[in-house]
Amino acid sequence: MSAVSAADPAAIDPAAIDLAAIGAMDKADPLSAFRARFVLPEGVIYLDGNSLGAASSAALAELGKAAGQEWSHDLIRAWNSAGWFDMPLRLGDRIGRLVGAAEGQVVVTDTTSINIYKALHAALAMRPGRSVIVAEGGSFPTDLYMAEGVVSSRPGTSLKLEGVDAPTIEDLIDDSVAVVLVNHVNYKTGELRDMAALTRRIHEAGAMAVWDLCHSAGALPVELDAVGADFAVGCTYKYLNGGPGAPAFIYAARRHHDDIVQPLSGWWGHARPFAMERGYAGASGIQRFQCGTQPVLSMRALKGALDIWDEVDMTALREKSLALTDLFIALVEARCGQYGVSLETTRDRARRGSQVSFAHANAYEVMQALIERGVIGDFRAPATLRFGFTPLYTSYRDVWDAVGILEEILSSGIWKEPRFAVRAAVT
Amino acid sequence: MSAVSAADPAAIDPAAIDLAAIGAMDKADPLSAFRARFVLPEGVIYLDGNSLGAASSAALAELGKAAGQEWSHDLIRAWNSAGWFDMPLRLGDRIGRLVGAAEGQVVVTDTTSINIYKALHAALAMRPGRSVIVAEGGSFPTDLYMAEGVVSSRPGTSLKLEGVDAPTIEDLIDDSVAVVLVNHVNYKTGELRDMAALTRRIHEAGAMAVWDLCHSAGALPVELDAVGADFAVGCTYKYLNGGPGAPAFIYAARRHHDDIVQPLSGWWGHARPFAMERGYAGASGIQRFQCGTQPVLSMRALKGALDIWDEVDMTALREKSLALTDLFIALVEARCGQYGVSLETTRDRARRGSQVSFAHANAYEVMQALIERGVIGDFRAPATLRFGFTPLYTSYRDVWDAVGILEEILSSGIWKEPRFAVRAAVT
């Protein structure tokens, strides 16, 4: 066990780890019981929960109830009787607990892209003398595309990017900046930002902070209220296991609620949606970020997933996440280092999310070969092997076995076979 | 049968209709077999399919497969193997057949509200010298709220409303108008617009037409291509039976595809979403109206619903719809006319959607009493009883029985009991 509780992967001695040691780690895992709550396919080691989280029995049961009972039998009445109408707010509060937000500040609605649009507009409206949006050149692209969309519809505004207009995001923050849009964990490298320090820096410059939590919500403890974040967005289909394309969430700090102005002013954000009034009057509170009718069935799967999250201790989750990634880094470097893989993720625990990326010149082909052998990770262009570690259903044994298969694929060179070079539509 | 094939309800002799005549109508109904494809609760006459369409066995089966097989077992691979990624376009084409759109012009995505926002922005961008959006004061409110949102984010633009700024929409259309947003069927009165004539009038003034099909898609034949509509939006959870909050659709005429610019420029609308490029480059075609990741589970229920629609002849659907509403109007007027109900829907078949509204001073209480007796319609503020007629699963016997129950409620005055005045959150 000492190998796993070490502070960083360099402190692990891979030679000291064998199947017995791995078995001991799983036995000592305080989260191990959660695995039985998920429906996982046979013969698969799933290291892609950071793209699409696994299905749980609870999510499937909620979905079945929503469709087979509520929709089928209660029909329109279910909007009241089954609480469909309030679901975005109730689920928002439950996500709030996982991201450090007190009640009434998170709502589940629309997509991450659209919520970014809302948050950027709201932030710009609250900083009328300022015209610059700052974001990361290495951001998940849709963040930048949506920022471009905001700029296109607000004359006089502009977008500046870390890695393009300046080396670091801090270099870009001055008194022209209205809002900084930043990913808590980078989707590709797994780099974790210091949310407290960067939010402080943004506020010192008089700007607003919008945090994208897609790769941190459900992966590690997030403290939105404590760090004084202004807005945040995130998806629910990765670590939160809400189901494919499950609706996203948006957070606004309570101190901003009376000042939120955003142009996606649909009826679900109206103070009295069913009064059918002619003019828009925004609801008080986080409801003002709602727009149109939400996908109830997808949202009900998310509800089931969140039933499990209610039981999770986020500190234990984080400790296991780091132990899994420490172990994976140490084992891959020891056993596969000679085959052209090089670590893209930091060794520093304080700056690491719950994923590990390795560069390899033929990352696409290697990932296809891994998938054929049942180890499912992600390829990210141009040359990244990305592996997500979801502490609720990933075991130390999974890590051990995945590294063994990766070693076989690299040492045998089987990934060079032509079938692994065929490109699928979505990779 | 002669009573039902009459051109308008005034031509029906209610005294000539009895249970035997009703039975004959159902027996002769060419769409009667579709009813068995739906899961309908016992003891309910559902006249609210224009708020939330009924569940079908096909929709429930698709949902079960998507969740229990694809999500649970295929996991991330299902984006390719189960065709999740292309679903918005494939389902869009199937809706296209129902609304008169040739392939490649409809995509299923986001909500009606958000699609209105996209369409209005796109239309304004294509009419740079013009600044006015025209809409209907009696529109479903979210259309107006979204138009307000567009105006707020495009300095110099303004919104003019039928019923506020002029008596008719035609009076408002001049060469200052960039775009006219109009409901094909009014949500409250059921009034059907002449899409061909109004589109022609809009085009003569050099403006663009955005049609809201929420209450016509799946209710009657729509001919978007034939009338030369520019854009259209609609929901899929009413007549199309896609499930609660199922994603909406948006249409753009092919001639506009190269010119679409809209600010919700998310990664799903990018020409190469998985190349993870830094700058936004809109996809060609209708894909450019996509934005973020869509709710797959909700979309799969819609797929099941559309499997049924593939078999439906829209001309037969329209004929039955009119026969049902003719019959309902004639019977209600004959049997309930003395109890203070007055018709709000036109008697003119050419201007009638698939719903009938009656005004009653105590419409809320009367509707609550109807619902308690198993007749589910809608109350619409301030004083409208609204009944939707969905030809796929509503029979002539349903109409007959519903009118009988309405007559009992009105003649007995039972609706005056205090419990019927209690207001629910969503009505």
| Whether A319 and A294 share a structural domain | no
What string of DSSP letters covers A208-249?
Answer: EEEEE-TTTTTTS---HHHHT-SEEEE-SSSTT---TT---E
Rounded-to-integer distance, Cα B88 and Cα B293, Å: 10
Residue A1 has pLDDT above 50, yes or no: no
**Does residue B293 lie in a domain region?**
yes
Whether residue A118 lies in the annotated active site: no
Check: CB of residue B145 under 8 Å from CB of residue A292.
no
B267 marked among binding-site residues: yes
Q: Write down which residue in B265, B287, B309 finishes a domain.
A: B309
Crossing angle between the packed helical segments A87-98 and A296-309, to the nearest 10 degrees: 30
| DSSP conformational letter for B389 | -
Report the percentage of chain B scoring pLDDT > 70: 97
Check: CB of residue A265 under 8 Å from CB of residue A282.
yes
Q: Which of residues 320-339 of A touch B (CB under 8 A)?
A: none
Rounded-to-integer distance, Cα B224 and Cα A351, Å: 54
For the question of an ipTM over 0.90, the answer is yes
Which residues, 6+ apart, have CB-to-CB distance to B226 below 8 Å?
B100, B196
| Catalytic site residue from A37, A94, A188, A238 | A238
| Whether A364 and A302 share a structural domain | no
Interchain CB contact of B150 with A (< 8 Å): yes
A50-67, pLDDT tens digit by residue?
999 999 999 999 999 999
Whether residue A237 lies in the annotated active site: yes
pLDDT confidence of residue B12: 87
Q: Tokens 């595809």, residue?
A: B257
The beta-carbon neighbor of A117 closest among B261, B264, B297 is B264
B369-389, pLDDT tens digit by residue?
999 999 999 999 899 999 999
Gap from A409 CA to chain B (nearest CA, Å): 20
**Does residue B9 lie in a domain region?**
yes
What string of DSSP letters covers A377-390?
Answer: -EEETTTEEEEE--
B196-224, pLDDT tens digit by residue?
999 999 999 999 999 999 999 999 999 99
pLDDT confidence of residue A341: 97
What string of DSSP letters covers A20-53?
Answer: HHHHHHHHH-TTGGGGGGEE--TT-EE--TTTSP
Kind plus residue range of the DSSP H or E element containing B217: none
Residue A425 has pLDDT above 70, yes or no: no
Backbone φ and ψ of A235, nearest 5°: -100, 165
Residue B1 has pLDDT above 50, yes or no: no
| Chain A residues whose beta carbon lies within 8 Å of the beta carbon of residue B371 | 77
| Catalytic site residue from A46, A187, A231, A237 | A237
B142 marked among binding-site residues: yes
| Chain B residues whose beta carbon lies within 8 Å of the beta carbon of residue A427 | 274
B21-56, pLDDT tens digit by residue?
999 999 999 999 999 999 999 999 999 999 999 999
| Whether B265 and B375 share a structural domain | no
Q: Write down which residue in B250, B275, B309 finishes a domain.
A: B309
B358 in helix, strand or coil?
Answer: strand
Round the CA-based radius of gyration of chain B to a whole number and report it. Answer: 22
The number of beta carbons lying within 10 Å of the beta carbon of residue B410 is 23
Q: Tokens 């990017």, residue?
A: A161
Rounded-to-integer distance, Cα A358 and Cα A371, Å: 16
Report the percentage of chain B scoring pLDDT > 90: 93
Interchain CB contact of B298 with A (< 8 Å): yes
| Whether A94 and A215 share a structural domain | yes
The model's confidence at residue A5, banded by pLDDT at 50, 70 and 90, is very low
Rounded-to-integer distance, Cα B185 and Cα B237, Å: 16
| Chain A residues whose beta carbon lies within 8 Å of the beta carbon of residue B54 | 72, 75
| Whether A269 and A400 share a structural domain | no
Intra-chain end-to-end CA distance of chain B, in Å: 36
**Does residue A206 lie in a domain region?**
yes
Rounded-to-integer distance, Cα B270 and Cα A147, Å: 14
pLDDT confidence of residue B275: 85
**Does residue B278 lie in a domain region?**
yes
Residue B297 has pLDDT above 80, yes or no: yes
| Whether B264 and B126 share a structural domain | yes
**What CATH code is carried by the domain that includes residue B368?**
3.90.1150.10
**What CATH code is carried by the domain that includes residue B113?**
3.40.640.10
**Does residue A44 lie in a domain region?**
no
Rounded-to-integer distance, Cα A336 and Cα A369, Å: 15
Q: Which of residues 303-322 of B touch A (CB under 8 A)?
A: none
**Chain B, nearest residue to A371 by Cα:** B77
Count of domains for chain A: 2
* C-alpha A173 chain-centroid distance: 25
- The residues facing B179 across adjacent strands are B133, B208
Cβ A245–B295 below 8 Å, yes or no?
A: yes
Q: What residue type is assigned to position A273 of the chain?
A: P
Backbone φ and ψ of A332, nearest 5°: -65, -45
pLDDT confidence of residue A4: 39
**Does residue B374 lie in a domain region?**
yes
**Does residue A92 lie in a domain region?**
yes
The mean pLDDT of chain B is 95
| Whether A71 and A137 share a structural domain | yes
Give the CA distances from residue A364 to residues A275, A360, A367, B30, in Å, rounded to whole numbers and listed in that order: 54, 9, 5, 55
| Chain B residues whose beta carbon lies within 8 Å of the beta carbon of residue A263 | 117, 149-150, 152-153
Q: What residue type is assigned to position B70 of the chain?
A: E
pLDDT confidence of residue A7: 56
Q: Identify the residue with better confidence: A336 or A8.
A: A336
| Whether B82 and B20 share a structural domain | no
For residues A270-295, give the mean pLDDT: 94
Q: Which of residues 159-178 of A touch B (CB under 8 A)?
A: 161, 164
Residue of A189, A276, A357, A423 best to disrupt the B interface, most CBs of B under 10 A: A276
For residues A221-238, give the mean pLDDT: 98
Q: What are A296's two structure tokens? A: 């109830």
- The residues facing A356 across adjacent strands are A387
The beta-carbon neighbor of B114 closest among A150, A237, A291 is A291
Residue B153 has pLDDT above 70, yes or no: yes
CB pairs under 8 A between A and B: 292
Cβ A73–B292 below 8 Å, yes or no?
A: no
B185-195, pLDDT tens digit by residue?
999 999 999 99
Intra-chain end-to-end CA distance of chain A, in Å: 36
For residues A78-99, give the mean pLDDT: 96
Segments forming the whole domain that contains residue A123: 60-309
Whether residue A393 lies in the annotated active site: no
Residue A3 has pLDDT above 60, yes or no: no
The model's confidence at residue B276, banded by pLDDT at 50, 70 and 90, is confident
The model's confidence at residue B425, banded by pLDDT at 50, 70 and 90, is low
Q: Write down which residue in B292, B309, B326 finishes a domain.
A: B309
pLDDT confidence of residue A173: 98
The mean pLDDT of chain A is 95
Interchain CB contact of B270 with A (< 8 Å): yes
Residue B148 has pLDDT above 70, yes or no: yes
Gap from A291 CA to chain B (nearest CA, Å): 7
pLDDT confidence of residue A333: 97
Cβ A267–B74 below 8 Å, yes or no?
A: no
Rounded-to-integer distance, Cα B278 and Cα A357, Å: 20
Residues in chain B: 427
Whether residue A238 lies in the annotated active site: yes
pLDDT confidence of residue A153: 87
The number of beta carbons lying within 10 Å of the beta carbon of residue A420 is 19
Rounded-to-integer distance, Cα A137 and Cα A164, Å: 6
* C-alpha A335 chain-centroid distance: 29
**Does residue B55 lie in a domain region?**
no
Check: CB of residue A95 under 8 Å from CB of residue A108.
yes
Residue B322 has pLDDT above 90, yes or no: yes
User: How buried is residue B155: exposed, middle or buried, by Cβ count under 10 Å (0-12/13-18/19+)?
Assistant: exposed
Residue of B198, B219, B218 whose CA lies nearest to B210 = B198
The model's confidence at residue B4, banded by pLDDT at 50, 70 and 90, is very low
Cβ B142–A292 below 8 Å, yes or no?
A: yes
| Chain A residues whose beta carbon lies within 8 Å of the beta carbon of residue B140 | 276
For residues A174-187, give the mean pLDDT: 97
Residue of B373, B425, B308 whose CA lies nearest to B46 = B373
pLDDT confidence of residue A302: 98
| Whether A170 and A264 share a structural domain | yes
For residues B262-269, give the mean pLDDT: 96
| Whether A20 and A97 share a structural domain | no
Whether residue B127 lies in the annotated active site: no
Q: What residue type is assigned to position A76 of the chain?
A: I
B95-112, pLDDT tens digit by residue?
999 999 999 999 999 999
pLDDT confidence of residue A383: 95
Q: Which of residues 55-114 of B touch A (CB under 8 A)?
A: 55, 59-60, 63-64, 66-68, 70-80, 84-86, 110-114
| Whether B110 and B233 share a structural domain | yes
For residues A172-198, give the mean pLDDT: 97
The beta-carbon neighbor of B295 closest among A146, A247, A270 is A247
Residue B427 has pLDDT above 60, yes or no: no
| Whether B79 and B107 share a structural domain | yes
Check: CB of residue A415 under 8 Å from CB of residue A409.
yes
